[in-house]
Amino acid sequence: MDYHGPKNLVNRFLLRYAGWDKRPVFFDIDQIQPALRVLEREFPAIQAEADALLAERVAMPNYHAVNPPSTEISSTTPGNWKVFMLELLGHKPEANRKRCPKTCAALAQVPGVLQAFFSVLEPGKSIPLHDGPYVGYLRYHLGLRVPKENPPKIVVAGQPYTWQEGKATVFDDSWPHEVINTAKEPRVVLIVDFPRPLPWLPRKLNDFVLWKVTAPTYGKKVADLANSYNGDLF
């Protein structure tokens, strides 16, 4: 864990309740946030909307184009990591959401969504080892399109997970993780971030950091970039 960012003191405080270096890497969805199961139930509709974006060659920015702090992990390996933002800390890019009404309707059934987006890796695009900047959330992945030959995998704290279409996992993004991808087809995943379950006091602090500090600044900036993006077709 890198503690040198602006949230380092908050991270250290939250880690007391998360379990420090004994905290879990992957989680049981039914125990940690069972409402997320609606996304798997709606998988065919969500997959169809993601497929339509690719088939229509809808313009998608590289991840670092809407989230500049990610430039090092997004741009240092060959290929592109494209994203299609649907929600970020209360900010909802309307043009994107109009293209994915069924996905957004399913997301609306999950309480506390912090961020939701389609993540598209071009063939062969890997993501180098890194860790998430903040301890106060967990990350959900739903496989939408996964190459059958040499399927990509994510390795979190040394534990590998290979995506499967229609299957989901939740992991702690604050652990070091990387994506290894040698496939010859795109990999598409729905990513959803939600607050880490915490006792009352750290939960209140986490809510303050997320909604009072981060949402009006980082959240609005990324949502505005997603709204204004008009780059080349994917």
Domain limits, the chain = 26-225
pLDDT, position 233: 39
- Non-local CB neighbours of 96 within 8 Å, separated by 6+ positions: 84, 85, 86, 226, 227
Q: What is the mean pLDDT of residues 37-60?
A: 97
- Non-local CB neighbours of 77 within 8 Å, separated by 6+ positions: 125, 126, 127, 128
Instruction: Give the pLDDT confidence of 148-165 residue by residue, as tens digits.
Output: 999 999 999 999 999 999
CA 76 to CA 12: how far, in whole Å?
29
HSE at residue 9, side-chain half, CA atoms within 13 A, is: 3
pLDDT, position 69: 85
Model pTM? Answer: 0.94
When the candidates are 2.60.120.330, 3.10.129.10, 2.40.70.10, 1.10.1040.10, the CATH number that belongs to 26-225 is 2.60.120.330
| Mean pLDDT value across the chain | 93
Instruction: Tell me: pLDDT of 54 over 90.
Output: yes
